[in-house]
Amino acid sequence: MLKVGLDFGSTYTTVSVYREDTQVLEALLMNQNSPYVPSVVSVFRNKYEFGRAAKRLTGKKEAQVFKGFKMMLTQSDLKELERRGFSEEYMPERVAGIFIENLLRQVLKDCHEERIDRLVVGVPEIWSEDMSTIDGRTMIRDICQKMDFIDPEGVQVVSEPAAASAFFAYNFQVSTGNCFEGKILLIDYGGGTLDITLTDVAAKTDEAGEKSVEIKVDKRTGAGENENGQIGQAGIVYMESVVREAIRQAGILEEEEEIACDGKFLKAVDMLEEELQDRTDILEETFEEYGIDYPEDLEEEFTTLEYKGEDVPVTFRMLLEVYNDTIRSVFEEKLDEMIQYMRDNSINYEERNLDNFKIALVGGFGNFYLVKKQVWDKFSFSAFDKRQQNIILNRADCEKAISLGAALLAAGVISIRNTAPYSIGLCVKDVDGQVLLNYAFRYKQDIEFGTTYFAMGEDQKPFVIFTSSGGFSKFIINKREADQTALIVPVKEEFREKLSNVIQNEYGTAVVGFSLDTSEVVSIHVHEFDLFNEEMDPQGHKIELTRFKDLFDSTRVEKAVKE
């Protein structure tokens, strides 16, 4: 039985397995000569390639090369999609499916297996909380469930911080023999996104004596694709900005000539990316020797790229100045935001000699010297700092932490407690016009996947709605504890009619419930209600919300402010 953990990244993807017979946890190399598989798909002469083979076709005539498709999954702006090279034939969801399927087929081949029984995929935490990106979680689940070599019931989508925290908690237990109890600050800097997440990790034992790890997200902030809905303020935009600046300084273009995001440009970006990965030691030695306070001392050439047949030098000064222009300030702002939260909540993040607070820098861009330096300075790291001890056993594993943690979850070595990712229910008005917020479950409430939770009235009984009076017109979604932060989300007319049509009783009365599957995809359960006998039809009608954007009118979202 093959159980797989997948970290589907914007620039690189890693796949890990936990081999139960040998109790070995490992990231797979496959045929890429590296666990870091470029998240790239190419179409050339009617043949698909993925990973490094696809990346090598960048800039080749007649080859279509797709990158950044994960970050574009929930993008609805067709002009932005076209600018990034997508089309009606090859939309991000289709390209992502091609990539994941080819990748997982290679996993089966290398592991000499025919079927994947459990697949756990890590996705950004914000995909559980933002209406503009929440569909990404469902898209990933659907892509994987449709593959005939994967057990659809074995597919689970979890948040990346939960997967990474599971890995670090596992490391702590392996190295100390004790369960980790405390906070983990995860700084995940990738190609398309910065996610800073504070998780709370606690060991739990159920009535049967089974142990699990409870992982709760206390606070998250970030920048880039997950915050802004497009590429920005992360690894990809940094590398593209360096290449643009290098081309301008090389003087090979006419004044004011636009630098197109075409194959030649992307080829130069790939060259820079390879140099940054292969020469990390040179970067660290140079910046340590000269410092970063005086850019004029860093005129030495780091590498030379090629663009339109011309040499394009890149200096250490250029790397620093572009970092300062595109990354430093927003990174500083987000770190300060998290630090202020920890101060406000009396979380001791500065103590270096305790074992209940850890800091882990993960993600491909997190290995870049200037990123690490900014974190080291912000938290005043010392040589014998316990804030990283026992959770990081191998520095190289930090970039693989999400896939390794996902593999542990897939194998059941570590389990996480199921809590609601948001509050959800019905929003209706009573006869006096007062807004009633009838929640089915609340944010971070313990829940069972697949169990229906009904929208409850003030009497703690399932709230009865009258379909004729528009009882299905609005839902309430809330990612925080306070009702004042909740969103009232109008339902599109065609979906409201679909819901109303399932009610056949004389008065159009019903109760409505909600459930979540293992990937946190929500379903609505509509049960006819006999008003006189106060009985509901136990069968009900289940409608899975596979695409929020097709069901809700996000242009009319309101904040729920209660007096």
Domain boundary among 369, 389, 411: 411
**Around 137, how many Cα atoms within 13 Å sit in the side-chain half-sphere?**
29
383 and 513: one domain? no
Q: Is residue 273 part of a domain?
A: no
**Structural tokens at position 111:** 């592991």
Closest CA relative to residue 393, chosen from 358, 366, 368: 358
Secondary structure (H, E, C), 162-227: HHHHHHHHHHHHHHHCCCCCEEEEEEEECCCEEEEEEEEEEEEECCCCCEEEEEEEEEEEEEEHHH
Residues 517 and 485 in one domain: yes
Look at strands 12-19 and 24-27 and give their pairing. antiparallel
Q: Is residue 283 part of a domain?
A: no
pLDDT of residue 90: 92
Position 519 scores a pLDDT of 84
Boundary of a domain, candidates 387, 411, 435? 411
Report the C-alpha gap between 155 and 162 in whole angstroms: 16
Up-side HSE of residue 258: CA atoms within 13 Å toward CB? 3
User: Is residue 201, in this structure, part of any structural domain at all?
Assistant: yes
Residue for token pair 């995809």: 521
Q: Which of 111, 131, 107, 115 shows the shortest CA–CA distance to 8?
A: 107
Pick the closest to residue 477 from 445, 510, 440, 512 (CA basis): 440
Tokens 């917020």 sit at which residue? 437
Residue whose entry in the numeric block shows the structure tokens 């006999």: 530
Confidence at residue 559, expressed as pLDDT on a 0 to 100 scale: 61
DSSP sequence for 109-125: HHHT-S-EEEEEEEE-G
**Residue whose C-alpha is closest to residue 279's, from 234, 331, 250, 316:** 316
Within-domain flag for 394: yes
How do strand 435-441 and strand 301-307 relate by DSSP bridges?
Answer: unpaired
In-domain check, residue 270:
no
Q: Angle, nearest 10°, between helix axes 329-344 and 369-379?
A: 30
Residue with tokens 């040179």: 282
Residue 61, CA atoms < 13 Å, CB-side half-sphere: 0
**Does one domain contain both 371 and 485?**
no
Contact call for residues 491 and 472 (beta carbons, < 8 A): yes
DSSP per-residue letters across 449-476: TT--EE-B-TTSSBPEEEGGGTTTSEEE
pLDDT at 220: 83
Claim to verify: residue 502 and residue 381 sit in the same structural domain: no
| Integer angstrom CA distances of residue 419 from 162, 163, 451, 456, 479 | 12, 15, 13, 18, 12
Using CA atoms, how far residue 415 sits from 62, 166, 182, 201, 361, in Å, is: 47, 8, 17, 12, 23
Q: Which domain holds residue 471?
A: 423-559
Q: Are residues 513 and 373 part of one domain?
A: no
Do residues 85 and 182 share a domain? yes
Separation between Cα atoms, residue 551 and residue 557, nearest integer Å: 13
CA dihedral 366, 360, 37, 216 (to 10 degrees): -120
pLDDT, residue 263, reads 81
Backbone φ, ψ for residue 511 (5° rounding): -115, 150
Same domain for 461 and 353: no
C-alpha to C-alpha distance for 70 and 140, rounded to whole angstroms: 9
Cα gap 227→490, rounded to integer Å: 23
Q: Examine the fold and report which residue of 362, 382, 411 is the final residue of a domain before the chain moves on.
A: 411
Tell me, yes or no, whether 407 and 428 share the same domain. Answer: no
> Whose structure tokens read 């698909």?
48
Query: Which residues partner with 488 through β-bridges?
Result: 476, 558
Strand partners, 551: none
| Same-domain status, 394 and 483 | no
CA distance 137 to 546: 10
Q: What is the pLDDT at residue 227?
A: 43
Per the document, the length of the chain is: 563
SS3 at position 509? strand
Whether the Cβ atoms of residue 239 and residue 365 lie closer than 8 Å to each other: no
Count the domains in the chain: 2
Distance of CA 247 to the CA centre of its chain: 33
Mark whether 374 and 478 lie in a shared domain. Answer: no
- The full DSSP string for 269-293 is HHHHHHHHHHTHHHHHHHHHHH-SS
Residue 196 lies in a domain: yes
- Residue 548 and residue 480 share a domain: yes
Q: What is the mean pLDDT of each run of 10 residues along the chain (563 residues)?
A: 91 91 88 84 91 87 87 82 86 95 94 94 79 79 95 92 90 89 91 85 74 77 55 75 93 80 86 91 94 92 93 96 93 94 94 91 87 94 87 83 94 82 82 79 86 89 76 74 70 74 75 88 86 84 74 63 42
Distance in angstroms (rounded) separating the CA atoms of residues 69 and 98: 11
Helix, coil or strand: residue 409? helix
CB 400 within 8 Å of CB 450: no
Pairing type for strands 464-466 and 474-478 reads unpaired
The pLDDT of residue 562: 45
- Does residue 389 lie within any of the structural domains? yes
Pull the structure tokens for residue 283: 């970067």
Please report, for the domain that includes residue 110, its CATH number: 3.30.420.40
Q: Maximum Cα–Cα distance for the chain, whole Å?
A: 84
Residues 402 and 437 both lie in one domain: no
Amino acid (1-letter code) at residue 71: M
Within a domain: 418: no
